[in-house]
């Protein structure tokens, strides 16, 4: 299928949006993943993290032994290109810092933002071909528990407050804002206070005389 302007534009948008070549090919229809990648390269919009791109190592020992079948064909057809290929592999690899620097420079001269070429449907702004969109800011770090204790447990016993002398019976549920520990003085020799030792260590009653056990601190219904 031919690369019409609409399809090329669609390809550009999805490529810059971060969709994979397979997804783009499926979306466009009538083209393969390789066709999308090849077209993207010809359009000049490559980059994007590639699993193969991040190598450029092994610049010393080289790998003379490789693909004897294809190598023979290539050698007879295009020996010169193969030499160039080898020579390019041997070139000094650009450092990651250099890549980062270059990427920053591409954006540095235009602190005013990308040039707006036109306004597309829905109000989104089209950018010029040479304008790389600003790097996606990294997602803010997330915590399972708040960095600062919430007000509900400001005067409660937190994980950091635990020691050998206070009851570590959990109150409420881990991960919830009001989760804390009992904090009472322990029953000497036990990790819990007298009351919670009564919950944690129960004498076995004779069969038939057992009552339903109290809810467990974890997993069961709320216990206070």
Partner DNA sequence: CCCTGATTCGC
Partner DNA sequence: GCGAATCAGG
CA–CA separation, 26 and 21 (whole Å): 8
Region at 175 (left for phi over 0; alpha for psi -120 to 50; beta for the rest):
left
CA–CA separation, 156 and 180 (whole Å): 6
67 scored as a contact of DNA (CB under 7 A) = yes
Site string for DNA, 75-114 (x = CB under 7 A): --xx--xx--x--x--------------------------
Number of residues counted as binding DNA (CB under 7 A): 40
Q: Pick from 10, 74, 126, 199 the residue near DNA by CB under 7 A.
A: 74
Q: Do the beta carbons of residue 15 and residue 40 sit within 8 Å? A: yes
Cβ–Cβ contacts within 10 Å for residue 47, how many? 13
Q: Pick from 3, 10, 126, 149 the residue near DNA by CB under 7 A.
A: 3
- Binding segment toward DNA, per CB under 7 A, in 26-34, 110-118, 143-151, 161-169: 26-34
Nearest-approach distance from CB 131 to DNA, in angstroms? 19
DSSP type of residue 180: E
Q: How many residues does the chain have?
A: 224
Pairing mode of beta strands 116-119, 180-181: unpaired
What are the residues binding DNA (CB under 7 A)? 1-3, 20-23, 31-35, 37-42, 46-55, 63, 66-67, 70, 73-74, 77-78, 81-82, 85, 88
């Amino acid at each position: 299928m031919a690369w019409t302007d609409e399809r090329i534009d669609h390809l550009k948008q999805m490529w810059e949006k971060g969709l994979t070549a397979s997804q783009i090919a499926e979306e466009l229809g009538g083209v393969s993943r390789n066709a999308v990648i090849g077209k993207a390269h010809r359009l000049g919009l490559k980059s994007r993290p590639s699993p193969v791109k991040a190598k450029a190592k092994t610049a010393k020992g080289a790998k003379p032994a490789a693909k004897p079948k294809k190598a023979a064909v290539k050698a007879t057809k295009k020996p010169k290109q193969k030499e160039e290929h080898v020579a390019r592999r041997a070139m000094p690899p650009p450092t990651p810092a250099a890549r980062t620097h270059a990427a920053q420079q591409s954006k540095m001269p235009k602190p005013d933002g990308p040039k707006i070429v036109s306004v597309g449907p829905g109000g989104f702004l089209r950018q010029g071909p040479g304008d790389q969109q600003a790097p996606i800011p990294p997602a803010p770090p997330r915590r399972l528990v708040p960095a600062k204790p919430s007000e509900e447990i400001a005067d409660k016993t937190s994980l950091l407050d635990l020691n050998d002398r206070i009851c570590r019976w959990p109150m409420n549920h881990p991960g919830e804002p009001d989760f804390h520990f009992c904090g009472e003085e322990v029953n000497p020799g036990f990790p819990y206070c007298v009351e919670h030792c009564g919950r944690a260590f129960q004498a076995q009653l004779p069969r038939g005389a057992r009552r339903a056990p109290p809810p467990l601190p974890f997993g069961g219904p709320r216990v206070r």
